[in-house]
Chains A and B, each alone.
Chain A
């Protein structure tokens, strides 16, 4: 029975990826471009979800992981002349190292202290990027030349390839998340979220599992950051700022914490909420704000969370 539930979930998500693949043929150029961006940002949110949604640790500093990937890639490409492939790898490694280091230190705290410590580390990371403005060009940021945004001969600045690359990244990370959460390791993360003390007293090294969750979460966020810079050609300090730490929290809450698809649905929803309301009024943040309040009041488990509760209890 458990096997068939997890298979159902895998099939469902593969079907969803197929839908995203087909959408590129019918979407108008504007929405086509938006969706590529949303898929990359949703990958960031999926990384955040591993730690927040599945493990129950609320970080307010994930922008530092996103930025670690972005600058790990951007700086090696710009200053060391690396190509896109090694650049992406540098972004991934930067994310892994930063999250291992920060996780090691921040996990000495828990609860509210963990939130504050991650917020402070991220702020320190943001200021570090500004401080080394000579290389990072600070707030202004830097453009990654179109000529460099080529992987295996494919021009990633071209909308079609950019969409496919974003879909590939999103699809891999989505299926990895599902694989992870269906594994024994993932079950222990959920157990930690549900009852940390009991989990330890069943014989699990809670601290180690949390650390691994921070690393998995931070590395996925970093890969999304690197991909964002590569696909959209720009790296800047804004992406390390506090609002980029808050965004994934909002996206995940809206879409459904602890659901594999929640981060995507939340990112999509918020992106278009702001897009549509800003075409109506300059006070678009007011509309967005009210919508968010209503959603949290009436759908506390997020869109996918409620949907799972009502219709698909087997969803990962």
Chain B
């Protein structure tokens, strides 16, 4: 969290951006030369049909997947070659598309693992952040339960709690509402709105209501390329987007 100097140098510097970011898997081009930028504090949704390259794209942002070519800048720093764990320590947090928690540990232990380095062993700060994060997702009363015993929806919320407990500057959520009940989705939307402004949020999401209710801007990926970026209204009206989603006949 000591990279502020560069970030402060220029307020117009995007918080995270990519230049010509590409990834091939064998002959398949999953992500093709994407130029992308998000200013600090924005909530940006990334949408697109299945196989559009969304997960691969954010996988490269957070360091799980190495790019084939291109560059990634985070807070003014080139992080293309930085290993994933260091990106997390620079202020990113990432939640997996397929729930990935410590199933045999308690909720509290799960979140503590996320926060303990963040406050460098300051026990009261760790406790506070752990409680606060579990409170925010509505799981505080279950903190001594074994995480693997939770319902799928609650496990997803736990994963989000682990992310926000780190007080990241950039939060990347890969399909966070998958498997959540309607009431849980409503509180998730509220949570994301509350967090926006403090942190930059990248949201991969299939649920269009969630996208329209939370996103400041939307980027549409299709076949590994950026199809459009704009406000929810722009995207709704965009012919190319409608075609990509609904097929040629609609146009």
Interface residues of chain A, those whose CB is within 8 Å of chain B, are 184, 187-188, 190-191, 194-195, 197-206
How many whole Å from A235's CB to the nearest CB in chain B?
A: 41
Q: Which 4 A-B pairs have the closest CB atoms?
A: A203-B88, A194-B102, A198-B100, A203-B89
Question: Which of B100, B109, B112, B117 sits near A204, CB closer than 8 Å?
Answer: B117
Q: Are A194 and B121 in contact (CB under 8 A)?
A: no
Q: Is B46 an interface residue (CB 8 A)?
A: no
Q: Is B45 an interface residue (CB 8 A)?
A: no
Which residues from A are CB-within-8-Å of B121? 184
Which residues from A are CB-within-8-Å of B64? 197, 201
Q: How far is the CA of A300 from the CA of B112 in the complex (A)?
A: 29
Q: How far is the CA of A201 from the CA of B97 in the complex (A)?
A: 13
B residues 50-107 near A (Cβ < 8 Å) are: 62, 64, 83-86, 88-89, 94, 96, 100-105
Which residues from A are CB-within-8-Å of B177? none
Which residues from B are CB-within-8-Å of A184? 116-117, 121
Q: Are A200 and B84 in contact (CB under 8 A)?
A: yes
Nearest B residue to A187 by beta-carbon distance?
B113
How many whole Å from B145's CB to the nearest CB in chain A?
A: 13
Which residues from A are CB-within-8-Å of B94? 201
Q: How far is the CA of A34 from the CA of B64 in the complex (A)?
A: 51
Q: How far is the CA of A184 from the CA of B109 in the complex (A)?
A: 11
Please name 5 further chain A to chain B contacts, defined as beta carbons within 8 Å, in addition to the given A201-B96, A203-B118, sorted by A numbering: A191-B113, A194-B105, A195-B101, A199-B113, A201-B94
Q: How far is the CA of A118 from the CA of B34 in the complex (A)?
A: 43
Interface pairs (9), CB distance under 8 Å: A184-B116, A197-B96, A198-B100, A198-B101, A201-B88, A203-B114, A203-B117, A203-B118, A204-B85
Q: Is B166 an interface residue (CB 8 A)?
A: yes
Q: Are B116 and A201 in contact (CB under 8 A)?
A: no
Nearest A residue to B114 by beta-carbon distance?
A202
Q: How far is the CA of A187 from the CA of B102 in the complex (A)?
A: 12
How many whole Å from B45's CB to the nearest CB in chain A?
A: 21
Which residues from A are CB-within-8-Å of B112? 187
Which residues from B are CB-within-8-Å of A204? 85, 117
Q: Are A198 and B117 in contact (CB under 8 A)?
A: no
Q: Is B160 an interface residue (CB 8 A)?
A: no
Q: How far is the CA of A198 from the CA of B155 in the complex (A)?
A: 13
Q: Are A205 and B85 in contact (CB under 8 A)?
A: yes
Q: Are B100 and A202 in contact (CB under 8 A)?
A: no
Q: Are A201 and B102 in contact (CB under 8 A)?
A: no
Q: Is B21 an interface residue (CB 8 A)?
A: no
Q: Is B162 an interface residue (CB 8 A)?
A: yes
Q: How far is the CA of A194 from the CA of B62 in the complex (A)?
A: 21
How many whole Å from A107's CB to the nearest CB in chain B?
A: 15
How many whole Å from A176's CB to the nearest CB in chain B?
A: 20
How many whole Å from A110's CB to the nearest CB in chain B?
A: 16
How many whole Å from A199's CB to the nearest CB in chain B?
A: 7
How many whole Å from A56's CB to the nearest CB in chain B?
A: 11
Q: How far is the CA of A206 from the CA of B62 in the complex (A)?
A: 16
Contact flags (1/0) for B193-231 with A, using CB distance below 8 Å?
A: 000000000000000000000000000000000000000
How many whole Å from B200's CB to the nearest CB in chain A?
A: 17
Q: Are B104 and A194 in contact (CB under 8 A)?
A: yes
Using known A-B contacts A198-B96, A200-B85, A201-B88, determine if residue A191 contacts B102 with beta carbons closer than 8 Å. Answer: yes
How many whole Å from A211's CB to the nearest CB in chain B?
A: 14
Nearest B residue to A3 by beta-carbon distance?
B123
Q: Are B113 and A197 in contact (CB under 8 A)?
A: no
Which residues from A are CB-within-8-Å of B116? 184, 187
Which residues from A are CB-within-8-Å of B100? 195, 197-198, 201
Which residues from A are CB-within-8-Å of B118? 203
How many whole Å from A2's CB to the nearest CB in chain B?
A: 9
How many whole Å from B38's CB to the nearest CB in chain A?
A: 20
Q: Are B113 and A202 in contact (CB under 8 A)?
A: yes
Which residues from A are CB-within-8-Å of B114? 202-203
Q: How far is the CA of A204 from the CA of B86 in the complex (A)?
A: 8
Q: Are A198 and B84 in contact (CB under 8 A)?
A: no
Q: How far is the CA of A191 from the CA of B116 in the complex (A)?
A: 12
Which residues from B are CB-within-8-Å of A203? 85-86, 88-89, 114, 117-118, 166
How many whole Å from A202's CB to the nearest CB in chain B?
A: 5
Q: How far is the CA of A187 from the CA of B105 in the complex (A)?
A: 11
Q: Are B101 and A201 in contact (CB under 8 A)?
A: no
Which residues from A are CB-within-8-Å of B102? 191, 194-195, 198
How many whole Å from A3's CB to the nearest CB in chain B?
A: 9
Q: Are B113 and A188 in contact (CB under 8 A)?
A: yes
How many whole Å from B146's CB to the nearest CB in chain A?
A: 11
Q: How far is the CA of A294 from the CA of B194 in the complex (A)?
A: 56
How many whole Å from B157's CB to the nearest CB in chain A?
A: 15
Q: How far is the CA of A202 from the CA of B165 in the complex (A)?
A: 11
Which residues from B are CB-within-8-Å of A198? 96, 100-102
Using known A-B contacts A184-B116, A194-B103, A195-B100, determine if residue A201 contacts B89 with beta carbons closer than 8 Å. Answer: no
Q: How far is the CA of A184 from the CA of B118 in the complex (A)?
A: 12
Nearest A residue to B87 by beta-carbon distance?
A203
Q: How far is the CA of A68 from the CA of B117 in the complex (A)?
A: 35
Choose among A188, A200, A203 the residue with the greatest number of B CB atoms under 10 Å from its CB: A203
How many whole Å from B125's CB to the nearest CB in chain A?
A: 14
